[in-house]
Structure 1
Amino acid sequence: MNEVIEEMDEEGLESVVTAEVFNGIYTMIEEKKVTMKNILLLLKHVGCCKVLKRVFIDEFEVTSLNKRFEKMIIDENEKKKDEKNEKLLTDLCECYLLLNEEFPSELLSICVRCILKEALNKEENEKAQKEVEMALLALSKCFYFGKLDKELYLGEIKEIVQYHQEHHNLTRLAYQSAWKLLMSRFYFNKSLEDEIVNELHFVRETRRELEELSKCVDWKRKKVEREKETKEVIVLMKWLQLLEFFFRFCSFWNEEFVGLFGNVVQLFRASSGNHREIRGECIDFFRAAAENKIMKVEGLLKGRAIDVMMEEIQQPTLDDANAFRILRFFLIISERLKKKEIFETDEAKRKATKRKIFEKLEEEGCEDTFTSLYGEISFINDKCHDALSLTISEYFVII
């Protein structure tokens, strides 16, 4: 059954992970036709596939099975230490987090505390690594960590990240999940930024992970030849999504960012033609960086982000979603170069950057491309539910 579920695409998984199926499983448990142990193994795998395939399912929340799990978690948690079945409680909590989309504060607190014990396991055998991977994947669902005290469990999360940096005991998916967990704390506590960048070396670690994952991807395989994405592709996309999130909210510039832009440019070019989803994530990352006024336009230029965005907007295969993202990118760049920015002290450097970008756009004929897209902007706005400027000159960098 696990293999069947793993082979399903997003649509197939959505068609079987329904309230009717979950209620059917509940009935089988009540009638003792299947053991709880086997059901938990199956449902953890279903939940894992659901998260990796980015399938949003909210039907589990209204099922009898979910209500039974909630009661079992609370009851097991309230038992005395010598009576408590820690393995059962951990499995229940992982299923609960993986299959639900929202969590009551009481249950979230129980689940996080319980699953973190599993995630802190430092054994390096394959079985332990898989269990830690599942635990961290389940915890990475908890963007609602803001409901907990801002310092609660922060030390444990940092310990997991730092221990892996020294001993490399986690799988790639587990390590990315640990960082996502840490970033969820950053969302509610911006004071963590210095630790994330300078103590835990987020940029260095991300660059290494992107480089290693990139080596594992068969970039030449056509999409029609890929019945399912490899785990490496999925994890790579999750890193790009995490980068986009961080660069939207980070509040200080670091020269390491230029090298990171270069890594994402390499991914963007490697994914040309065969991995549209990865290209879309790269574009979203560059747009997020451009929108954050702490990110230097000169850094985007040095990191070649502007080069690939110019190349992409002129592609005949450009779709509406990416056309919107790239037009938005150049609209922001143009707006930012028109006036002095936050913390900017060197006016001559800003003007030099502006001239370099102007010359690049002129050399590549991008102004003509923007003009040719003018008639499409209203259509793109309607389709993407957003508002690009209808004044075409606002996309140009003018000296």
Structure 2
Amino acid sequence: MTNKIGTTDIGNTIEELLVELEHCTETERKQKILIINGILKEMKKEDFKSIFSKKLFNRINSMIEERKTQLKNAIYLLKQIGYYRVLSRMWNNSFDLSLLKERIQKMIAKEGKKKEMMDDKFMVDLCECYIAHSYDFPPELHSICIPCLLKVALNKDGSEETQKEVEMALLHLSCFKYWKKIPEKFYLNEIKEIIQYHQKHQHLTQLAYRFAWKFLTDRLFWNGNLEDVIANELLFVREAAKELEELTRSVNWKRKEEEKVKEVNNVEMWLSVIDRYLISISSWDEEHSGLIFIIVSVFRAAKEKYKEISKYCIFLLGNAAGNMAMDDDALLKGGAIDITLEAIVQLDSIDNLFYECLSFFDYICEKIKMKTKNELEEAKRKETKRKLLEKMEEEGYEDIFTSFHTISKDYVNIYDI
């Protein structure tokens, strides 16, 4: 099936599949799901919202009430759709506005109060379906859904089926937004065990490992105490640099951006995890320069064919520079200033990338201006300033910034430091 199928036809196909699932064996059910997966792979992002609308979710809810389909089948199908939706980053809030969300939320809350929950597998399906489609996740469900999914993710069986279940569980955990405050008691020991076991035995898929890190680093937003666990116990910088370096080498960067493949998506995902970490950390060491260097390497690899990724690298480095704990000298050593200057040299007009570059230098210059009474720190500040100005004077960078100054009111006066 291709995009030539209308959105109404796709909605009807989903409803028809729900009816057909009532009389399927497990094998047949998986085959039916493959039909939906085929449709999703051909679907454009802009079509997703119109297809998976409040109307469709309400219709599925009515089918459950009218006993045209069992709740289990609806949840199973929607979970598969949600998995693809999360991977493809096709977001909309239609589910949050639907009666189906109310039904599932009440069921999870009700079952969570019981001493003995319903069938564990179905409870996992309920939680994963809800998380994958809901943008707004109420705190009262944290104590139910997070332990439920972590129990699945702790399964150390190396079979392909188990690996997929673990990946699904960790993917849905990674959907918890960074601004959601989640108590450590619901996750910390378990997520540490998952990450440390993989570091020893390499039993997770690449995606699963990335999802585990995303869930944990997102928690830094509310809980700075996790920094020691993440950086020192779990060695995030080393692990992230290794994963990103391997992925960067595996990508065929000569492909056009519209031919984006799984490896490129994985690079973007790891960059987003690293971004959250660099924004949040409160201390800095030499090892972080290596992480900056890997980000610089991604920029250089992607800049010809994958301009969105190269722009994201500059954005990420700007966020790092904006962190007051970040050592500007390390950004110099890691090559961040070099590639930002290169990016500006290659621009022939004002665009979003230009402003990302200016933000980067703005952050650095503001910190270099901040004098200190500590003699060692003041000497280091002056040395970093000297190195930066030397960089700016190479290859005529002063003239380039001055030319942009004539057309940009947001020009940052690099030399006023």
Q: Given the two structures, how large is their TM-score scaled by the length of structure 1? A: 0.89
Compared CA separation, residues 325 and 264, structure 1 to 2 (3 A):
same
Matched, 1:154 2:188: yes
Deviation at residue 22 of structure 1 after TM alignment: 1.1
Q: In structure 1, how many angstroms separate the alpha carbons of the residues matched to 2:294 and 2:375? A: 26
Match of 1:125 among 148, 151, 159: 159
Q: Shift in Å at residue 148 of structure 1?
A: 3.7
Per the alignment, residue 139 of structure 1 pairs with: 173
From 114, 118, 133, the counterpart of 2:148: 114
Letter in 2 for 1:190: G
Identify which of structures 1 and 2 has the higher relative contact order when contacts are C-alpha pairs closer than 8 Å and 6+ apart. 1
Alignment equivalent of 1:338, drawn from 369, 380, 394: 369
1:334 maps to amino acid = C
Q: Which residue is equivalent to 1:255?
A: 286
Query: Deviations for 1:347-376, whole angstroms, at most 9, x for unmatched residues?
Result: 444333322221221112222221222243
Structure 2 distance, partners of 1:343, 1:102, is: 47
Residue 144 of structure 1: CA displacement? 6.3
CA displacement 1:109-166 (0-9 Å, x = unmatched)? 2111211111111111111111111111111111368544343321111111111111
Within 5 A, what are the aligned runs for 1:55-74?
55-74=90-109
Aligned to 1:8: 43
Give the one of 117, 120, 131 matched to 1:97.
131
Change (3 A) 1:369 1:109: same
Are residues 1:395 and 2:407 paired?
no
Amino acid at match of 1:198: N
- What's the offset of the Cα at 1:32? 3.3
Classify 1:320/1:214 alpha carbon distance in 2 versus 1 (closer, same or farther; 3 Å).
same
Assess if the C-alpha contact under 8 Å between 1:73 and 1:89 holds in 2: yes
Q: CA contact under 8 A between 1:248 and 1:292: conserved in structure 2?
A: yes
Q: Decide whether aligned partners of structure 1 residues 31 and 155 sit closer, same or farther in structure 2, where only a CA change above 3 A counts.
A: same
Aligned to 1:364: 395
- Tell me the residue number matched to 2:264: 233
Tell me: CA distance 1:34–1:253, structure 2 relative to 1, closer, same or farther (3 Å).
same
Q: How does 1:380-391 map to 2 (within 5 A)?
A: 388=410
- Go from structure 1 to structure 2 and tell me whether the alpha carbon gap of 1:130 and 1:181 turns closer, same or farther (over 3 Å shift): same
Aligned to 1:316: 347
Backbone CA RMSD of aligned residues: 2.2
Q: Hey, what does 1:31 align to over in structure 2?
A: 66
Deviation of residue 79 (structure 1)? 4.3
Q: CA deviation at 1:255?
A: 0.7
Tell me the residue number matched to 1:355.
386
CA contact (8 A) 2:171 2:208 kept: yes
**Whole-Å separation in 1 of the counterparts to 2:366 and 2:102:** 52
Deviation at 1:319, TM superposition (A): 5.8
Give the drift of 1:341: 5.6
Tell me, yes or no, if structure 1 residue 17 matches structure 2 residue 89: no
- Identity among equivalent positions (%) equals 45
Runs of 4+ in 1 over 6 A off after TM superposition: none
Mapped to 2, the partners of 1:314 and 1:41 lie a distance apart of 52
Correspondence 1:175 to 2:209:
yes
Question: Size of the alignment, in residue pairs?
Answer: 382
CA contact (8 A) 2:182 2:219 kept: no
Structure 1: give runs of 5+ residues left out of the alignment: 379-387
The answer to whether the Cα contact below 8 Å between 1:150 and 1:185 also exists between their aligned partners in 2 is no
Q: Is the 8 A contact 1:244 1:284 kept in 2?
A: no
Q: What residue ranges of structure 2 are gaps of 5+ in the alignment?
A: 1-35
| Shift in Å, 1:343 | 7.5
